[in-house]
Structure 1
Amino acid sequence: MAAVVVVGSGLAGLLAAVRAADAGHRVTVVTKGTLDEGSTRHAQGGIAAALFADDSVDAHVRDTLRAGAGHCDPAAVRVLCEEGPARVRDLIRFGAAFDRDESGLARGLEAAHSRARVVHAGGDATGAEIQRALVATVRSRAVELVEHAMLADVLTCRGRACGVRLLIGGQYVDRPADAVVLATGGTGQLYGRTTNPAVATGDGVAAAWRAGARVDDLEFTQFHPTALAAPGTPLISEAVRGEGAVLRDASGERFMPSRHPLAELAPRDVVAREVAAAMRRHGDAPATLDATALGAAFLARRFPGIDAATRAAGYDWSREPVPVTPAAHYAMGGIATDLWGRTSVPGLFAIGECARTGVHGANRLASNSLLEAAVFADRAGRVLGEPFPHAHAASRAQLRTEGAAPRSSAAGPFTRAALQDLMWTRAGLERSGDGLAGASALLDDWALAQPAEPAPAVEAIEDANLLLLARLTVDAALARRESRGAHHRLDHPERDPALGALPEAA
């Protein structure tokens, strides 16, 4: 049996730990904060799966491929949709209490789904309920739990992962392992406006890249169209629009029906860009989400968390439309894996949002994120300790640094806030070649001015990771000279079929 270190304590990490422990491996879970921190507990809408008689795996596959804008891996999508129902049943077996109605499991409709298949818990607290159930489950196993342990690096020995370097209490601690599972979440803190928690600084993706792992599709960041335009940009779930809420511009006009046949339930990238366009037409005044037709009682019962958040921000959304803005929400790219979570570095696995499985393509289908975490955590758990195939080896992405020279007087000093502002304005919802090139030069300046090794402090390591990932993301966006899904180039507004991973009809 293998010694396994799992880094991250969301759905992906905890389920992988349970599977590994049940298989007899010696398992340690390490997490930067506490066990219940991370993105999973913030997930509102639910988890999508073909669980109902009027649905099918094939329909879920079609919806996922369509949302992914011709950039999904059909084999990965097939795995996701075929194995998804069993993984939802596993979560129920582990104690997750999904909402029920007279027909059994309650379900909702979300954008780009052809039918209602999204199961939820606590109305809009699905992630929190799944997190609660899995924390209890992992505590019932013989799993070592290490909280407040920051991943500094993946250790390699003779070309394979052999452990992790952690920052614990201001000191570096090396933890050997036969297998390392990265489940560290996304990169939302690259952007000034994000629905992600503060811990989402891309630590696993950066550490994997430094260890020589391949990363892919970093140019594809999903921007959610409806974050509340208030401090903290709290998310307003797509499920609200699935229940009938509509988007209006600052003048009160509903604009989505004239922009897309699916109106408010068009794919997220489409709705996010249309919200941004509506804001520009009105001097950057926020658009609004109008849920008043749903009524106070329904809103409080179906969306208790959002109801509380909007009221805490000073709005009564049962009586007035609330201001919304797009915000960075989900990273479709990340550490490239095969269908079992294996990376290009033997012994190193990646699952959840930090992984690029090929499931999401250029634009994730709503509520497929929790499903992907569960499906590929289960799969990784099945092959821990087995030899890695050689076929998946690949060279890592390269940074373009030729000719870069410090221009600190023009660039200004590096700060996280300055980086987040740069990424929002130059590599955000809409990009251009000139803007990306300028961002790349400035990021190179900042990188050359930083110390070779960050100080042994959480914030310093996070800043180094964010700067690295910003450079990789901008270079990837520069290289993709087309618009596809969440990657929208103003200077290349059309899709280039040659740049899709797969044919549109796949």
Structure 2
Amino acid sequence: MHNLYFDTLIIGSGLAGFTLALNLAGTQRVGVVTKLTLNDSASGWAQGGIAASLSDEDTPEKHVQDTLIAGAGLCDGSTVRFVAEHAPEAIKWLVEQGVEFSKDDNHDTGYHLTKEGGHSTRRIIHSGDATGKAVQQALIEKVRNCSNIVILEQHIAIDLITSDKIRGNTNKNPAGRRCLGAYVLDRGSGHVRTFKAQNTVLATGGASKVYLYTTNPDTATGDGIAMGWRAGCSVANMEFIQFHPTCLYHPHAKSFLISEAVRGEGGLLKLPNGECFMAAHDQRAELAPRDIVARAIDFEMKKRGLDCVYLDISHKPANFLQQHFPTIYAHCLKLGIDLTQEPIPVVPAAHYTCGGILTDRAGRSDLKNLYAIGETAHTGLHGANRLASNSLLECLVVARAAAQDINGQTSTAMPEIPDWDESRVTDADEEIVISHNWDELRRCMWSYVGIVRTTKRLQRAQHRIDLLREEINEFYTHFRVSSDLLELRNLVDTADLIVRSAMLRHESRGLHYSRDYPALLSQARDTVLQKSL
């Protein structure tokens, strides 16, 4: 059991990974690697819902247009259309898996659809205000009961194995490189295992944990993006980090998101004196896209020296709020905030990574036999700013497309892969180095590479990241790997990609706002980084 072979190895246990695994399990032996348990992923934290044109008043074309507007000129039109057109069948598949969405017998769909910022109509299908949890729980049950899916919990991937690194390989042509699997740390035993696979899939989520304040779980450390980059994959648009406008501001409310749907159902953003301010920033007010709302809140907080602003939906009936937002209501009440009677204190926080490993709409990267899906990937769907509730949708549609592509392949011979070599390393002598560097990196990114940027701030961040990378790489070279060290190594690589991408964009577009380049360039171009091999 130290070394295993799979037809497809999936690294990550969110909605994208589960969807792919279930769509492959009929014909393949699938391995699912997750660094904690199947219950730990950003997908399970999603509150709002999934965007899909399901009602008579909506069409895929309307969904496409809303996505393109939010993406600020950088969406890939064919990918947007592909995802929007396949959205209804993806929702149907979830229903077939046992996912229960909120019902509304008076609606033509039979479901309650809500509206979020940037959407021109109600198209967000949801399960109360805990959609991600409902979806994940239904799929986890399916995955656990599938004999062709091998679940490997408490395992964290270290690096991908590529053919050019195998001893005796004579093909030095970069175009002939392929992915053969991954080296993975078994956190329970401390041993590094070798997993071979015909196809390997990165589905590890995003990298928002690179920032001090985030709505994401602790697992969002950019693992897949960093591993793909180190293996030679192209990475695109990493400067576009979406900051969710409304994260609960409370000393005991770590990473708790106040859903976009609260504003969609009439919530108003206010200053401490009760004054509404969004209309002064955008004519769509609270229903403007997330980048605009987050910048408006950031502006008001800095201008007035505020610790937070307030989201007020107390004007709605109490039973309506308790029915539509039961999770948010219960969590706030536990902290002494009754949202039926008073406003909720909120601040922006890092939420979603719009860039990632460059792929096509079937998840194929530019390294043969390596796929990336979900938040780890850059398909071109989100452009410079993700439209609310398109993230879970992308997981579903692209994962199903990747499954179709993988199922259409024929197996090829696999070379012998050497075991992980730790003969020249020792146990770490000072773990404090890891925790100190982790904290320094996240504070640096929050201070210098946040919602509003300047060239000077980015240069300062790059200088600190270079020093941290040198220190972390030295630690990695000389000591046995641990999960904390691996996550820190991935975070610093991801931070470097974000800063390098931001320094290359000499304009303000979507989620990237620079005081030194406030104008929008006439031509929209992706920022693509390619690693020298």
Q: Deviations over 1:440-487 (max 9, x none)?
A: 011111112234462411001001110111111111101111111011
Aligned counterpart, 1:393: none
Aligned pairs (5 A) from 1:318-357: 318-357=340-379
What residue number does 2:157 align with? Answer: 151
Which residue is equivalent to 1:14? 18
Establish whether residue 137 from structure 1 lines up as the match of residue 148 from structure 2.
no
Contact 2:50 2:390 in 1 (8 A): yes
- In 2: Cα distance, 1:202 partner to 1:338 partner: 20
Structure 1 residue matching 2:452: 3-state secondary structure:
coil
Aligned counterpart for 1:470 among listed residues 495, 506, 527: 495
Q: Distance in 2 between matches of 1:120 and 1:470?
A: 33
Are positions 1:85 and 2:73 aligned together? no
In structure 2, the residue matched to 1:107 is 113
Q: 2:259: which partner in 1?
A: 237
SS of structure 1 residue aligned to 2:514: coil
User: Given the alignment of the two structures, is residue 490 of structure 1 paired with residue 515 of structure 2, yes or no?
Assistant: yes
8 Å contact 1:70–1:501 — kept in the other structure? no
The aligned counterpart of 1:273 is 295
Structure 1 Cα separation of the partners of residues 472 and 50 of structure 2: 41
Task: Show the 5 A alignment for 1:166-315.
Answer: 166-168=184-186, 169=188, 170-230=190-250, 231-315=253-337
| Distance in 1 (alpha carbons) for counterparts of 2:45 and 2:30 | 26
CA distance in 2, matches of 1:211, 1:437: 26
Match of 1:27 in 2: 30
CA RMSD across the alignment: 1.7
Is the contact between residue 216 and residue 356 of structure 1 (CA under 8 Å) also seen in structure 2? yes
SS at structure 1 position matched to 2:181: strand
- Would you say the 8 A contact 1:185–1:202 is kept in 2? yes
Aligned to 1:57: 60
The equivalent residue for 1:457 is 482
Distance in 2, Cα, partners of 1:461 & 1:386: 34
Instruction: Give the gaps of 5 or more residues in structure 2.
Output: 165-176, 411-433, 528-533
1:430 counterpart = 2:452: yes
Q: For the Cα contact (< 8 Å) 2:235–2:355, is it kept in 1?
A: yes
Distance in 2, Cα, partners of 1:314 & 1:118: 30
1-side partners of 2:14 and 2:133: how far apart?
10
Aligned residue runs from structure 1 range 356-375, under 5 A: 356-375=378-397
Q: Shift of residue 2 of structure 1?
A: 7.0
Amino acid aligned to 2:51:
A
Q: Tell me if 1:163 matches 2:188.
A: no
Residues 171 and 456, structure 1, Cα contact 8 Å, conserved in 2:
no
Once the two structures are TM-superposed, the CA of residue 314 in structure 1 deviates from its matched residue by 2.0
| 135-144 vs 39-48, which moves further | 135-144
- Whether contact under 8 Å (2:236, 2:526) holds in the other structure is no
After TM superposition, give the deviation of residue 387 of structure 1 in Å: 5.9
Query: Structure 1: how far apart are the matches of 2:474 and 2:280?
Result: 52
Amino acid at match of 2:79: A
- In the alignment, is the contact (CA less than 8 A) between 2:6 and 2:196 conserved in 1? no
Deviation per CA, 1:422-447, whole angstroms, max 9, x where unpaired? 10110011110000011101111111
Distance, in Å, in 2 between the alignment partners of 1:456 and 1:448 is 16
Distance across 1 between alignment mates of 2:441 and 2:333: 31
1:69 aligns with 2:86: no
- Note the C-alpha offset of 1:165: 0.8
Alignment check: 8 A CA contact 1:225 1:272 kept: yes
What letter matches 2:43 in structure 1?
A: T
The aligned amino acid for 2:163 is: C
Task: Measure, in 2, the Cα distance between the counterparts of 1:190 and 1:284.
Answer: 24
CA contact (8 A) 2:237 2:526 kept: no
State the partner residue of 1:127: 132
2:317, 2:111 → 1: CA distance? 23
Aligned to 2:124: 118
Could you tell me which runs of 5 or more consecutive residues in structure 1 were left unpaired when the two chains were aligned: 389-411
Shift of residue 313, structure 1, vs aligned partner: 2.2
Contact 2:90 2:396 survives alignment (8 Å): yes
Say whether the 8 Å CA contact 1:2–1:385 is kept in structure 2: no
C-alpha displacement of 1:385: 5.5
Post-superposition offset of 1:413: 9.8
Which amino acid counterpart does residue 450 of structure 2 have in structure 1?
G
Q: 1:413 to 1:196 in 2, by over 3 A?
A: closer
Q: TM-score, normalised by structure 1?
A: 0.92
| C-alpha distance in structure 1 between counterparts of 2:153 and 2:471, whole Å | 32
How far apart are the structure 1 equivalents of 2:309 and 2:242?
19
Counterparts of 2:347 and 2:235, CA distance in 1: 29
Q: Which digits, 9 at most, give the CA deviation of each residue in 1:105-138, with x for residues without a partner?
A: 11000001000000000x1010001001111122
Alignment partners' CA distance in 2, 1:195 and 1:62 = 27
What secondary structure, in the 3-state scheme, does the structure 1 residue paired with 2:523 have?
helix
- How much has 1:498 moved relative to structure 2? 2.6
- Displacement of 1:295 after TM fit? 2.8
- Whole-Å separation in 2 of the counterparts to 1:450 and 1:124: 40
Residue equivalent to 2:50: 47
